[in-house]
Amino acid sequence: MKSTWRITALVMAVAVTALAAVAGTASAAPAGGTTASATTIRIWADGNRKAAVERVAGAWARSRGVNVDVVLKEFGDIRTNLSTVTADAAPDVIVGAHDWTGELAAGGLVVPLTPRKTALAPFPVYTLNAFSYGTGVKRLYGAPVAVENIGLVVNTKLARVPTSFADLEKQALAFKKKKSGNLAIAVPQGANGDAYHMYPFFSGLGGYIFGTTARGTLNPKDIGVANKRFIANAPLIDKWNKEGLINSKVGYDDAKNAFLKGNAAFWITGPWESDTLKKSGLNFKIVQMPKIKFRSVPFLGVQGFMVTKFSTQHGVESLAKDLVGNYFMGAGSQVALAAANGRFPANKTAGKRVNDAVLKQFGAAGVGGVPMPNIPQMDSVWSELGGAWVKSTKGAGATKARIAFTTASRNIANKIG
């Protein structure tokens, strides 16, 4: 599975102002001071966000007369450690990725939030859906803070920003023919496939991963990898393969290097490459891929904060829910917390305060995107969906797309059981 969240050193200048606005310390106390026995909220945060969490949570703590203890954790260890930690060392709040939600909620490790309606209003529904889970009734388990997605990066000295997919296809193929070694669209796949980077093509042809129940929860029995609408459009994949628009032999580094060296006018990547783009010296624009048959939206990775079951044991559940479900969802907090990891804020009001031009373009490219399914059954999808793209776009000897995706869908269903 492609990692949803990529580490980057990017910190937006706007964060300086936002952090100052919520200035405080992790052990901030009200006037008159606190004693050693003051209530403490323990937060697990990764290195990128620790300082921002300390400042933002510190301002909240000072207003509540409590302390916060921000514990440094490797991001990848937070989910696994939460299931093994002893209660006395356990966190009340964690930073996490939205696609952890199903596993953690089903395991009873995180508790649902009840934010005020005014706190929810500035968020696109899909960012809230990302942290929502339920086999019956869908409930919100996390406060979305930052959004990550891919976009179509266009070298504007080599090509125009395409006005349609047909225009993109025409320009890309013309550029490919100019010189041996040129790529039409630098989209990474490689031997193991990359369903994440290929998702705009998938959604643009009418594909989806899981449908939803009448109550709005994800339905793992409704697998849309080879739905009728997508299969009807699958011959376009065969066409792209034949003309060389997409080539699954292109890996991540191949795609990146081709764009940076001028051997590709179009590159599909995300904000983890913001610094690379800024330092490249290239003139570029970032847009959402043009509509194919349907809107070609990307997968979304949403990152935020969740309240753990241990907050109940520690007697601080109400405080932890207020911190996460209300304070962290405010625009000022969102700007600072999202900027700490170089991502676009989930809160729309906070998004309007972003001044970083590259990040703003990636944010716009993600509008209307689809959160990666947060239910455990998604683990059965990645390799099969990525593999279908590899088999159908490998050039000579490629499998017909209709067959490749139908087989993938059947395999996914068998894995899910």
pLDDT band at 215 (very low <50, low <70, confident <90, very high): confident
Mean pLDDT of 195-222: 96
User: pLDDT digits over 6-51, tens only?
Assistant: 433 333 333 333 433 443 334 443 333 333 347 999 999 999 999 9
CA distances from 337 to 121, 173, 404 (A): 19, 41, 42
Is pLDDT of 5 > 80?
Answer: no
**pLDDT for residue 294:** 98
Per-residue model confidence (pLDDT) at position 27: 43
Residue 181 confidence (pLDDT) above 90: yes
Residue with tokens 């011959």: 235
Please, which contacts does 376-380 make with residues 24 or more away whose CB atoms are closer than 8 Å? Answer: 376/102, 376/103, 376/106, 377/210, 377/220, 377/416, 378/99, 378/102, 378/209, 378/210, 379/1, 380/412, 380/415, 380/416
Rounded Cα distance between 341 and 109, Å, is 25
SS3 of residue 69 by DSSP: strand
The pLDDT of residue 51:
96
pLDDT band at 361 (very low <50, low <70, confident <90, very high): very high
Judge whether residue 137 has pLDDT over 50.
yes
| pTM score, whole prediction | 0.88
At 38 the pLDDT is 73
Mean pLDDT over residues 364-383, rounded? 96
CA nearest to 49, candidates 93, 2, 83? 93
Comparison of pLDDT for 71 and 17, the residue scoring more? 71
| Residue 315 neighbours by CB distance under 10 Å | 10
Per-residue pLDDT at 366 exceeds 70: yes
**What band does 118 get if pLDDT is binned at 50, 70 and 90?**
very high
Distance from C-alpha of 376 to C-alpha of 9, rounded to nearest angstrom = 31
